[in-house]
Structure 1
């Protein structure tokens, strides 16, 4: 029921009341009245707008919505368009690319900088394509030899295609995590537990990265895997001590092998060099001996005509040269016992060698001198006895 209908408690008609609960009879609060009439409210609002824009009805008695209202609506439209235009400016960061959807359909990729889009028509989603993202996959996995091992791996990746990253797959990051877990389980399932815990980690890392790249390419996620890091691999807690001992033993084995290889690398070149040196010395000795033999042969071939011409003279000459060479190297002094009894001078100083010679050499020289003196005494005694014998024979006759 409208506020001005008959039966209202505020009066018989609505002339004494206004839409805001006031009347001409002194009712100041209006709280006891009913809700205002909406038609009257809109009529009053229309009159106020018409008065502001200078529009009145015929005879100045009522509001008119002619030219004034058109101008007002035009100003409002211009302001709305300006707000809509300036609200369309946006900025894409240096490391980002913007994916533009026009009316919900993919339109283009915008580059970094200040850009504009029609508001309520285009929707832009910035995606960081330079940041290196990271995720971790881990869990208990079954190996090829039916053992259980706890493996943890970290994957570093970045966005290569913003549109594919956002709209080709649902939640590309979660899809990549599931793909990593699947690839890791596939690789671990084809590997032995000893290899996973010790020397095969690098091979598992490479195999996991290759398998993960194949999955990403097949799903076309718009993601590029930068690196895959094998973080940890450990056996279950129940057998951890035994596997630690096994790992320590393998590490010792590898250390001993490296030490043996280092020793081999140190000894083998020396032995090879020594062998080459002995071989070269043997070759040099062979060549020297052969050349000396050839030289002696050539020397004898030169002496052959002389020997054929005078055999005795040549023989005596060769004998004397040979004896001279032999006796020149000996420290002994030979005295002819059949010679006359003239005093012979022995060059003891020359036989003893130079002064300051080593002690052993002096001792040898002294020994040789003693031997020479003994031999000289023997020769003298034999000479005296021979002389006495000859004298006795001459006296006998």
Structure 2
């Protein structure tokens, strides 16, 4: 007969050993009945939530015992879940700002962290990311012109506490401060300066002023760089401004060419003037030196003349005659006691004696050979004239 058939002793042949389930002999070591375990759990839950009393099979436990145990289980489970909700991770690029009961408590570093849920409130902020913001607007310059300026601002968070707590929306404050700083700098500059060489200076001034605004507001932002991407006139008048800029560039080019020409002419003129001054000084020194030499020669000649007047006078005459006749090719001589004038073609005489030569060589030959003959004849004539005078004396 099968163990589960009705009647007989089949009920005692339960293979799970649950012969008397009403709390009989517990010496049997078989596993508990699954249906009985589910029934007991249901009775405990009914006792906790106000259900009916337990049956006689509950081992004599009352409703109060079941309610206290279930409540303890729920409390422990809720505590475990609450504690598990408090674990979180802060990445390497982030910092965590902790508020406890709405008040700043701490700034946590990267790693695995725990904070009591529902008591602490956390905000994670990326402090290494370089953020950027584009801005473009029409501005009025100092000379009452309108320019369109486009720039990009790069920034990052350096103070997480100030970024989270000091300002409601730091990036909106950054936009307003950027607009204010840009209008202030452009409004104090001329349009030509902004459109040409002033873009780098414009970016530097905007960055400095914007950083001062961020520090005053306490946003916790650090401005890394301000790049001016474009500065131009409004689209409606862009062509006219292009013509103006081209004209200014042409003007600057002409000025540079004029300066280059002046830089080449002025030093050359100064060099010529200096050369003339040097030549004048050299001529002056030459004239002075020649004059001093002539004076010295005259003084020496005077001393020799006082010693031998006739010889000195004769020598001076000969030297003078030589200096005059050396540059002449013809000589005319008036012979005493005759009516004819002697003509001496010295160039012909030189050609007959030494061949043909140039006029300069003829003059040189005359100074060397013919002059001695003329000088001898002149000396003889002077002696003949001096003889009667001696006799008269």
Is it true that 1:100 corresponds to 2:103 in the alignment?
no
Contact in 1 for aligned 2:150/2:229 (Cα 8 Å):
yes
Residue matched to 1:155: 153
Residue matched to 1:355: none
CA shift, 1:206, in A, is: 4.8
CA separation in 1, counterparts of 2:113 and 2:360?
116
Q: Indicate the structure (1 or 2) with the bigger Cα radius of gyration.
A: 2
Query: Please, which moves more after superposition, 233-242 or 74-83?
Result: 74-83
CA separation in 1, counterparts of 2:45 and 2:148?
74
CA separation in 1, counterparts of 2:226 and 2:313?
95
Structure 2 gap segments, 5+ residues each: 1-40, 50-55, 334-341, 371-393
Query: Please, which moves more after superposition, 159-168 or 244-253?
Result: 159-168
Aligned to 2:353, the other structure's residue is in SS state coil
CA 1:166 to 1:78, structure 2 compared with 1: closer, same or farther past 3 Å? closer
- 1:66-121 CA-to-partner distances (Å, cap 9, x unmatched) read xx99x999997998799679x4554423xx6x24325254455566x646454644
CA 1:205 to 1:279, structure 2 compared with 1: closer, same or farther past 3 Å? farther
CA separation in 2, counterparts of 1:276 and 1:123?
85
Q: What pairs up with 1:1-397 in 2 under 5 angstroms?
A: 40=43, 42-43=45-46, 87=87, 90-93=90-93, 98-103=95-100, 104-107=102-105, 114=111, 116-118=113-115, 120=117, 121=120, 123=122, 125-129=124-128, 131-198=129-196, 201=199, 204-321=202-319, 324=322, 330=327, 332=329, 346-348=353-355, 351-352=357-358
Aligned to 1:170, the other structure's residue is in SS state coil
Structure 1 gap segments, 5+ residues each: 1-37, 47-56, 353-363, 377-397
Contact in 1 for aligned 2:90/2:96 (Cα 8 Å):
no
CA 1:299 to 1:153, structure 2 compared with 1: closer, same or farther past 3 Å? farther
CA 1:162 to 1:307, structure 2 compared with 1: closer, same or farther past 3 Å? farther
TM-score, normalised via structure 2 length: 0.56
Contact in 1 for aligned 2:96/2:125 (Cα 8 Å):
yes
